[in-house]
Copies of this chain bind each other. A is one copy, B any other.
Amino acid sequence: MTKVCLVIGAGAGIGGNVGKRFALEGYHTVLCRRSDEEGLQKLVADIEESGGKATGYLLDATKENAIEERVAQVEAEIGPIEVVLFNLGAQVGNRALGDTSYKVFELGWRMATFALFRLASAVCPLMEERGHGTILVTSATAAVRGNAGQHSHAAAMGGRRMLCQSLNAEFAPKGIHIAHILIDGAVDAPDTLGKMLGEEAFQQLREARGQEHDGLMLPEKMAETYFHVSQQHRSAWTHELDLRAFSDLAWWNHAP
Q: Is there contact, CB below 8 Å, between A246 and B151?
A: no
The 8 Å CB contact of A151, one of B117, B188, B237, B253, is B117
Instruction: Check: A120 CB closer than 8 A to any chain B CB.
Output: yes
Chain A contributes a number of interface residues (CB within 8 A of B) equal to: 85
Interface stretch (choices A26-34, A36-44, A70-78, A169-177): A169-177
Instruction: Check: A88 CB closer than 8 A to any chain B CB.
Output: no
Q: How far is the CB of A110 from chain B (nearest CB, A)?
A: 9
C-alpha gap A154/B157 in the complex (Å): 12
Instruction: Check: A250 CB closer than 8 A to any chain B CB.
Output: yes
Instruction: Check: A106 CB closer than 8 A to any chain B CB.
Output: yes
How many copies, total?
4
- Given the known interface contacts A236-B217, A236-B218, the answer about A155 and B151 at a Cβ–Cβ threshold of 8 Å is no
Contacts of A234 in B (CB 8 A): 214, 245-246
C-alpha gap A121/B173 in the complex (Å): 40
Contacts of A83 in B (CB 8 A): none
Q: Is there contact, CB below 8 Å, between B228 and A239?
A: no
Contacts of A148 in B (CB 8 A): 166, 169-170, 253, 256
Instruction: Check: A11 CB closer than 8 A to any chain B CB.
Output: no
- Given the known interface contacts A125-B98, A165-B145, A166-B155, the answer about A246 and B237 at a Cβ–Cβ threshold of 8 Å is yes
Q: Is there contact, CB below 8 Å, between A146 and B167?
A: yes
Chain B residue at minimum C-beta to C-beta distance from A64: B102
Q: Which of A161-189 contact B (CB under 8 A)?
A: 161-173, 175, 177, 188
Chain B residue at minimum C-beta to C-beta distance from A142: B162
Chain B residue at minimum C-beta to C-beta distance from A244: B237
Q: Is there contact, CB below 8 Å, between B170 and A163?
A: no
Q: How far is the CB of A192 from chain B (nearest CB, A)?
A: 16
Contacts of A118 in B (CB 8 A): 102
Instruction: Check: A221 CB closer than 8 A to any chain B CB.
Output: yes
- Given the known interface contacts A158-B163, A228-B225, the answer about A146 and B169 at a Cβ–Cβ threshold of 8 Å is yes
Interface, chain A (partner B; CB < 8 A) = 94, 96-98, 100, 102, 105-106, 109, 113-114, 117-118, 120-121, 124-125, 142-151, 154-173, 175, 177, 188, 214-218, 221-222, 224-225, 228, 231-247, 249-256
19 pairs across A/B with beta carbons < 8 Å?
A96-B170, A98-B125, A102-B118, A105-B117, A145-B162, A147-B169, A149-B166, A150-B169, A151-B166, A158-B161, A216-B235, A217-B236, A218-B233, A218-B236, A221-B233, A222-B235, A222-B236, A240-B242, A252-B252
